[in-house]
Amino acid sequence: MQPRIAPSLLSADFARLAEAAAAVPDSDWLHVDVMDNHFVPNLTIGLPVVQALRKSTDLPLDCHLMIDDPDRWAPPYAEEAGAHNVTVHAEAAADPVMIARDLRAAGALAGLAIKPGTPLEPYLELLRGYDTLLVMTVEPGFGGQEFIADALPKVREARRRVESGHLRLAIEVDGRIRSGRVIEVLSPLISERGAPLYLRSDNGPEFLAQPFVDWCADHRVALHYIQPGKPDQNAYIERFNRTYRTEVLNAHLVETVGELQALSSSWLQIYNRERPHDSLGRVPPLTFLPRPSSAAESLLAMST
């Protein structure tokens, strides 16, 4: 089975998800992180947004549901949003066997995810009814966490089970890995088995850094960037989304869309006009780049 790359929309600008999907046309799947602020302490997007996204891209949607009660909420992502693969967490599922049957009956692949601290062994038999296994190498809930190497033995064991014929599924690995960690992992493997022909990554700053580029050139490893754009784009967008979730979505209880619009508009004015940003030389965004911002208008349009 050929490796697949599924960039996560968690790193995208939530006000421009269609543009973010269009920016990675060479990806195999598009990873959609759905969080409910119950199973994980974060809130992202839900079924209506995924339905809208389905109309905006031809990429297969790989929906990772970090939510409570997936027995109830998972099938609609296949039936109503047309997701290609729907993954639920073993820790949240009441009847994972029935969930897999329901997802397959709805025309989607069925995936089971396990957290870094969750053992693989109790799920080996029921995984016979699944199409994908998602091994988390970070705690679900937030992007940008450090890679947890202790999860790798589960990946190796799952791979061994697939190669022996016990399981027939694809193995996904979810989490961030730094460019320095890539070098640490690949260096001994290159000594034993030779260098890979190429690496595919996003265009984050550390993967564009000269030391990493030089290391790849020294080992004749081609770099294929799957997302065009400015080098710091992903980091800025993720910082904005994280701050917005923390200071607006998770900090206030609103009863109407109008309340959320007003709250968001007021917060964006402060964020763009008054708040100094370390990454911009301790000045607000509109001082650093004085031009009309459509961020508030786009965000409000998304909320309606």
Q: State the catalytic residues.
A: 33, 174
CA dist., res. 197 & res. 250, Å (int): 44
Tokens found for residue 179? 């460019």
Q: What is the distance between the alpha carbons of residues 183 and 189, in angstroms, rounded to a whole number?
A: 10
Instruction: Give the DSSP letter string of 169-182.
Output: -EEEEES---HHHH
Q: Which of 87, 142, 104, 96 is nearest to 122 (CA)?
A: 96
How far apart are the C-alpha atoms of 180 and 116, rounded to whole Å?
Answer: 21
* Cα distances (angstroms) measured from residue 287 to each of 10, 232, 274: 27, 18, 9
Cα distance between residue 162 and residue 165, in whole Å: 5
**Dihedrals phi, psi of 229, to nearest 5 degrees:** 130, -175
